[in-house]
Structure 1
Amino acid sequence: MTRSIHEPSAHGLKGGKGFTRILNSARYSMQGLKAAFLNEAAFRQLVLMNLILIPIACWADVSRAERAILIAAPLLSLAIELLNSAIENIVDRVSMELHPLSKQAKDMGSAAQFVGLVIITVCWGVILL
């Protein structure tokens, strides 16, 4: 199959080479964070949770390794929420039709976030209690 001269290639959509690619990737990441913050209530709630937990982790009388875990767990939950939101957006972009596989994909994304919240609870509970 031949590609049309007007059809973009995957390489053309990558955003450049070398340092330009790094700058473009950083810009795309910031756009993704902004979109998540503006459009996803769950992401905003997790940002608030991070704004509370991370300073507490910095203040807590724990080892450096424990502090790293106390900070990493909530940040991991933010990353999971970004992926969960991406899954939901892709599913909705493909079709708004109710379909068992669409529901399953969205439910699995939600389950991943639930596991992330359990990780936070376990890490904070074990270290601080």
Structure 2
Amino acid sequence: MSNPHKGRTGLDRIRHAAGYSWAGLRAAYTGESAFRQEVWLCVVAVPLALWLGQGWVETALLLGSLLLVLIVELLNSGIEAAIDRVGFELHELSKRAKDLASAAVLLSLLLCAGVWGAAAWHRLF
């Protein structure tokens, strides 16, 4: 059994992949309040990162930690959507998958807070 969507190559494949990615970002923004909040946090934090970072390495770490939060939130939302697609009944494996994905978001937020805290400490003290 072959997938008719797997036959694309070259620029056609890149164009379709970009469209799917854009659709995913749009779906996450419209359907996931946590992602929306994190996007607006980034809108505020990116200019602050450019001011706060002393050198390109610190700036890259500040921006990268923000981007990591968005990436992990997208993965969390994808896992939740897949689990909800299977069914809404309570199941231990579904709960574990959602809890693990949520824990990944928490760890990315803690990492981001740590990077930002260290940069702020370095800049201000």
What is the TM-score when the length of structure 2 is the normalising length? Answer: 0.92
Q: Give the match for residue 57 of structure 2.
A: 65
Q: Alpha-carbon deviation of 1:15?
A: 6.4
2:47 aligned to which of 47, 55, 77: 55
Q: Alpha-carbon deviation of 1:60?
A: 2.2
- CA distance in 2 between counterparts of 1:69 and 1:15 reads 38
Q: Give the match for residue 111 of structure 2.
A: 119
Matched residue type, 2:109: L
- CA distance in 2 between counterparts of 1:15 and 1:30 reads 21
Q: Is the 8 A contact 2:52 2:119 kept in 1?
A: no
Q: Which has the larger radius of gyration?
A: 1
Q: Indicate whether 1:37 and 2:29 are aligned.
A: yes
Higher relative CO (Cα under 8 Å, sequence separation at least 6) belongs to 2
Higher helix share: 2
Q: Is the 8 A contact 2:65 2:108 kept in 1?
A: yes
| 1:29-70 deviations in Å (ceiling 9; x for gaps) | 000000000100000000011111111011225111000000
2:88 aligned to which of 73, 82, 96: 96
Q: Alpha-carbon deviation of 1:113?
A: 0.2
5+ long unaligned stretches in structure 1: 4-8
In 2 relative to 1, CA 28–61 (structure 1 residues): closer, same or farther, beyond 3 Å?
Answer: closer
5+ long unaligned stretches in structure 2: none
In 2 relative to 1, CA 24–49 (structure 1 residues): closer, same or farther, beyond 3 Å?
Answer: same
Aligned length: 121
Matched residue type, 1:51: V
1:105 aligned to which of 58, 81, 97: 97
Give the percent of matched residue pairs that are identical in Structure 1 and Structure 2.
44
| 1:6-29 deviations in Å (ceiling 9; x for gaps) | xxx23x223611111111111100
